[in-house]
Amino acid sequence: MDEYPLLNLFWTMLWLFLWVLWFFLLFKVITDIFRDHSLGGWGKAGWLVLVLLLPYIGVLIYLIARGRSMGERDVKQAKENDEAFRHYVRNAAGPAGPSAAEELSKLSALKDKGDITPEEFAQAKQRLLS
The answer to whether residues 71 and 105 belong to one domain is no
Same domain? 26 vs 77: yes
Q: Cα(first)–Cα(last) distance of the chain, in Å? A: 86
What domain range is 103 assigned to? 98-130
**Residue 87 contacts residue 66 (beta carbons within 8 Å):** no
Return the number of other C-beta atoms located less than 10 Å from residue 120's C-beta: 13
Q: CA 106, CA 120: separation in Å to the nearest integer?
A: 13
* 119 is a domain residue: yes
Task: Work out the number of other CB atoms within 10 angstroms of the CB of residue 11.
Answer: 11
> What pLDDT is attached to residue 9?
87
Give the span between the Cα atoms of 43 and 69, in whole angstroms.
15
Question: Which residues of the chain have a pLDDT value below 50?
Answer: none
Per-residue model confidence as pLDDT tens digits over 99-110: 777 888 888 888
